[in-house]
Amino acid sequence: EQTLMPATPLAGLRFTITAGPTREALDPVRYLSNHSSGKMGFALAAAAAAMGADVTLISGPVQLATPAGVKRIDVVSAEQMHQAALKVAVQSDIFIGCAAVADYRAADVATNKLKKGASEQLQLTLVKNPDIIAAVAGLAKQRPFTVGFAAETQNVLSYARQKLLNKKLDMICANDVSQPDAGFNSEQNALTALWHGGEQVLGLQTKAALAASLITLIY
């Protein structure tokens, strides 16, 4: 008798994945954001869906097609992503926070376009955005298995481990974004997955291959 690997090993598992940047308005025509392309999060959503999972992708503004079989919720700001994530997370088994959430937003969003003025300097007052993944990992009831990402340019593994502990995550993927080939806006990436009892290096490869390896490691 032959035993076959099921084509859909994740059937019945519900994933929520955040992806892309957030955009924080300054006025009706300007915003603060970052260079996240969303590719890693979309690759994770595609990989999980291809393995049979029920996938909800909460995406900031990106130029990417929705992967086959994935339910997509589009958001713009961190506050919108926070609201959407908490709503969906309580109905999820696994939450992966891949989004590059803006850490701060403008304290006041101007109703009208800001005028240049006479001064050579402009001071913006920013306030901290909610920490979405810490909120999900801190849920008292219906808390999903929670996986974060840590984009770092130095002390990559130790900073990532601090985030694993501080945010009470189950796993974190350390991403050395000082490497020219890895991370933001690249086709390829390399990660080290860290959890409480160990770690696993996932070497430089396409984001699609890396996503499949990471999804397999998680389940």
CB of residue 151 to Ca ion, shortest distance in Å: 7
Q: Is 101 in the site for ligand CTP (CB under 6 A)?
A: yes
97 assigned ligand-binding residue: yes
Query: Which residues on adjacent β-strands are paired with residue 127?
Result: 105
Catalytic status, residue 34: yes
CB of residue 102 to Ca ion, shortest distance in Å: 8
Q: How does 81-106 read in b/e, with b if 16+ C-beta sit within 10 Å? A: bbebbeebbeebbbbbbbbbbbeebb
Q: Is 17 in the site for ligand CTP (CB under 6 A)?
A: no
Number of other residues whose CB lies within 10 A of the CB of residue 197:
5
CA distance 101 to 36: 9
170 assigned ligand-binding residue: no
DSSP three-state, residue 175: strand
Alpha-carbon distances of 168 from 19, 84, 147, 171, 172, rounded to whole Å: 20, 20, 10, 9, 10
**Candidates 2-10, 23-31, 94-102, 206-214 — which segment interacts with ligand CTP by CB under 6 A?**
94-102
Residues in region 135-164 near ligand CTP by CB under 6 A: 148-151, 163
Q: Which of 59, 92, 129, 192 binds ligand CTP (CB under 6 A)?
A: 129
Q: Is 27 in the site for Ca ion (CB under 5 A)?
A: no
Q: Is 131 in the site for Ca ion (CB under 5 A)?
A: no
Q: Which residues contact 8 (CB under 8 A, 6 or more apart)?
A: 51, 52
CB of residue 150 to ligand CTP, shortest distance in Å: 4
Q: For 60, what's the count of Cα atoms within 13 Å in the CB-facing half-sphere?
A: 28
Q: Which of 20, 60, 97, 183 binds ligand CTP (CB under 6 A)?
A: 97
Which residues here bind ligand CTP, judged by CB under 6 A? 78, 97, 99, 101, 103, 129, 131-133, 148-151, 163
Enzyme catalytic residues: 34
